[in-house]
Structure formats: C-alpha cells, structure tokens
Amino acid sequence: MLTRRPGGEPFKIKAVEPVGITTRQQREEILRKAGYLQFRIPSEFVYIDLMTDSGTSAMSDNQWAGIMMGDEAYAGCRNFFNLESAVRDIFTYPYVIPTHQGRAAENILMLAMLRPGDYVLGNMFFDTTIAHIEHKGCIGEEFLIPEGYDTESEHPFKGNVDVERMEDFIKKNGASRVGMIIITITSNSNGGQPVSMRNIREVSGVARQYGIPLIFDAARYSENCFFIKKRERGYEDKTLPEIAAELFSYGDGATCSAKKCALVNIGGFIAVKSKEVYDKCLQYLVLFEGFPTYGGLAGRDLEAMARGLRQGLDEAYLEDRIGQVAYLARRLSEAGASVVTPPGGHGVYVDCKKTLPHLEMDKFPADALSVALYLDSGVRTVGLGTLAFGRKDAGGGWVFPELELLRFAIPRRVYTDRHMDVVADSMSSVLKDRGNIKGLRLVKEAPRLRHFLSTLEPLP
Ligand SMILES: Cc1ncc(COP(=O)(O)O)c(C=O)c1O
C-alpha cells in the first residue's frame, strides 16, 4: 500500500477556487471539440491542471496584502524600491530592471550585450532563450553533461555544464566570439534539474579567465538553492539566502521569470553588476516595456513580486514543494509509469516510449497518454514528444525526437497531496488497460507550432 508523505503542507487555505468537475461523457465531448489538444481545453473543464508551473502559483495573504499597497505612480513608485531591495538582498547585483515577464528580460539583456554572430554558451537553453539568441543573429551552443540527457541516470546535478567541453569550444573558436555564457537554474528543458555550486564556480572560473560575462537564467533560483543545500557537501548548514548570495556572486547578472520561484502570476526582471550594461538595457526597456521603475508592470505587481521573491526562499515551503514533486514521482512510478529520475524541481516527467512500448512514435504516445488521463479524471498534462518536437524530412517522413515525455508540472502552493493521489490513481487505472491506448493521428497538421494548433483524433 502506498504511504503518505510525512508532515503536511506548511500553510492553511484561506480562499478557495472551485475547479471543474465533469463526467467522463462530458470529457469525451470536450476532447472531441478540442481536437484532442490539451491546449484547446477551456480550463473550467480541467479538474487538476498540471500543464505548467509558470504563472500558476497561489499567492500568500501577505502578497495579496501587498497588492493593496500598489503605488501606481508613473515614476518612482515605492513598490519598485521594495523590489530593488529584495533583488539586491538575494541576487547581490546592484542594478535592477523590472520587466513584464522572463522573455522580455532576455530580449532586453541580449539586445544590450550581444552582437550579431556571437556565440552564446550554456547548459541547456529554454525555448524563449534560444529563440532570443537567434533573433539577435547569434548562435546558441549547449554543453550539458551527458548524464543530463540520460532519463535513468541518478546524477544529483543533471543540469551541470560540461566545463571541459565548453572550454575547448572557447579555445577553438576564440573568446572574443563568445558574447555570454548562460547557466539556467534549474535546467527546465531536461526536467528542472539542478546545477551544483561547484559546477557554477568552475564555469565562473572559465568565464573570468576568458573575459566572458556569466549570466544566470534564474527562473527557478530557489529550487536550485534548495537542491544544493540537500545534495552538495558543505552546504547542509548554510541558509538558503547564504547559498543564493554565493551562487550569484559567481556571475555578472541574471534574467528572471518571476512566474516560477518568485510566486507571482506575472512579472520578471534583469539584475546586473555593471552600470554600463544597466544603462544600455534602460534604452531598450523604455522602448519595449516602459519607464525603469515599472518595466511593463503595475505597482501592485512589483510589490507582489518583491514579497514573493523572499517567500520563495523559505525552507519549509521548499521542503514541501520539492517533497510534493518527489511524492508524485514515486506514486506515478508505483502506478506503473516509467518516471525520469531523479525528479527535478518543478514537475515529474514520464518516459512514454517505455510506458507505452506498444505504440510507435508516429502515434504520439505522450499525447495519447495525456488524452487518456484527461478522459479518465480531468487531469491536464502536456506531451513533449513527437507532436511538439518531431520534424519532417524532405520526403515528408518523420524525424523523431530522442525523447517522448509526458510532463506533470506542479503549480506552487496550489494542490494538496490528495490531488496528487487522484493523478496517480488515474494513471494506475489508465495503465491497467494500457493496451487499449491506440494512439492518435493528425487530422489537420498546422504548418508551424504543431502541438498548439493542429487537430487530432484517436486511432481505432
Ligand atoms: C528557464 C526559463 N527561462 C525563461 C522562461 C521565460 O519566462 P516567461 O514565461 O516569464 O517569459 C521560462 C518560462 O517557462 C523558463 O522556464
């Protein structure tokens, strides 16, 4: 029998949001109307929404109180100074620029720092990061350690950079051609996997030796700091703010989507050490986001972000959060799913090639499992496999991606372990009849953004 996680949630619930309870028959109709695409299902028909952890956090009473303290002055609102002080305390960088979300921060910092033709090196770029690198006429090169690509490796820091390979690249191509190094903490694209302090220190050594700026993509800064405390020798007795301060001291700046670890529904920022970079950013900021003390956000949003940033580093909260991800991973695995190990910071990934071995890749196993789960229980997940990343060769044949994953991203402070039990029980009932999952086929294939815009139907 499955055991419950020790302890309980470190919060009590003050406001509730009813969720969509539907019958199986209704869900059949909803799926048909949505063309079997999770993105087209109206959220009122979703019982447990594990599509993303971004912008889906529950804010605390303290943050909601902060919303009422919004100072909506065009220039110099007090909430900006509160944000600036929170970022300076945690990130240690003196210059702070708010933006409306993470990708806007990437756009502005890259416009300020990169020249067309530059290389940008990193562990693994998030989709918008590589898109912005290419938008600036630059080339992104990834140097994730091999264990990071292995869904069964138990390496504790699968977001680490292969420092030797990165340094070889710099030597071969010349440091002057490298515009920046970006370390994404945690590495979203391979499952929210953390980067160790030692690895960050080593990358920083290389960056300094060759005079290359080191920037953090810090969307999940607090989850990465928590993993360092739990998994890296020498950090067990340090506080999370101490770990964050050391980590960021090795870099020159950061972009941050505050929609993750900073526990807000919208917001982001840039923080840098250099006054020169800051001044350049401001010119683009005014063009794209707004005046430097609001950066595309209302004063109330800045206040919620300032408060959320500090709350994001609360140890009891992180213990519960990371514990819930691990709990769901264990329960899904007990339900018969092949789970990527170790689970990362923000969600659980199921390897659908192994979980549904009877389905060929052109039957979209990850999305087929996603549809089966929604039909069974109203749980929404997102497929990251052939439908999203498969390419076509010149003859129209499939070039399949390496991985066929189903992601269960867990919003922060939103669901209880009982919700996680519903998800795992649903997986268990779906997998009992896994042979009945016949796969999907494309009825209308969108020329671009296939997984957002196409129409599918189940195979008989
Ligand atoms: C690692 C990482 N960087 C950047 C972004 C972009 O942030 P936003 O969605 O706030 O624009 C995301 C969003 O998911 C992310 O996960």
The structural domains of the chain, ordered by start, are 24-53+315-458 (3.90.1150.10), 61-311 (3.40.640.10)
**How many whole angstroms from 128 Cα to the centroid of ligand 1?**
7
The pLDDT value recorded for residue 4 is 75
Q: What is the pLDDT of residue 446?
A: 87
Judging by beta carbons within 10 Å of its beta carbon (0-12, 13-18, 19+), is residue 201 exposed, middle or buried? middle
pLDDT of residue 449: 82
**Ligand 1 neighbourhood includes 367 CB (under 6 angstroms):** no
User: How far away, in angstroms, is 257 Cα from ligand 1 center?
Assistant: 5
Q: Which residues lie closer than 8 Å to 400 by C-beta, 6 or more apart?
A: 361, 362, 386, 390
Rounded Cα gap, residues 147 and 153, in angstroms: 6
pLDDT value for 1:
47
User: CA-to-CA distance for 415 and 187, rounded, in angstroms?
Assistant: 23
Q: What is the dihedral of CA 16, 22, 24, 30, to 10 degrees?
A: -110
| Residue 402: per-residue pLDDT | 87
pLDDT recorded at residue 189 = 87
CA of 102 to the centre of ligand 1 (A): 5
Cβ of 187 closer than 6 Å to ligand 1, yes or no, is no
Question: So what's the pLDDT on residue 3?
Answer: 67
Ligand 1 pocket member 269 (CB < 6 A): no
Q: Of the residues 53, 54, 193, which should be mutated to test ligand 1's pocket, given the most ligand atoms within 8 Å of the CB?
A: 54
Tell me, using a 6 A CB cutoff, whether residue 54 lines ligand 1: yes
- Whether 190 and 144 have beta carbons less than 8 Å apart is answered as yes
The phi and psi torsions of 440 (rounded to 5 degrees) equal: -125, 160
Which residues are CB-neighbours of 44 under 8 A, at least 6 positions away?
20
Spatial contact of 125 and 184, defined as CB atoms under 8 Å apart: yes
- Asked if 354 and 367 touch (Cβ cutoff 8 Å), the reply is no
**Residue 214 alpha carbon to ligand 1 centre in Å:** 18
Ligand 1 pocket, residue 103 CB under 6 Å: yes
Catalytic residues: 74, 126-127, 217, 219, 260, 451
- pLDDT tens, the chain, 460 aa long: 456 788 889 999 999 999 989 999 999 999 999 999 999 999 999 999 999 999 999 999 999 999 999 999 999 999 999 999 999 999 999 999 999 999 999 999 999 999 999 999 999 999 999 999 999 999 999 999 999 999 889 999 999 999 999 999 999 999 999 999 999 999 998 999 999 999 999 999 999 999 999 999 999 999 999 999 999 999 999 999 999 999 999 999 999 999 999 999 999 999 999 999 999 999 999 999 999 999 999 999 999 999 999 999 999 999 999 999 999 999 999 999 999 999 999 999 999 999 999 999 999 999 999 999 999 999 999 999 999 989 999 998 999 998 899 999 999 999 999 999 999 999 999 999 999 999 999 999 988 788 889 999 999 9
Predicted structure pTM score: 0.95
Instruction: Tell which atom from ligand 1 comes closest to the C-alpha of 104.
Output: 11
Q: Tell whether ligand 1 has an atom less than 6 A from the beta carbon of residue 217.
A: yes
Residue with the smallest CA separation from ligand 1 atom 4 is 102
Residue 296 in contact with ligand 1 by CB distance below 6 A? no
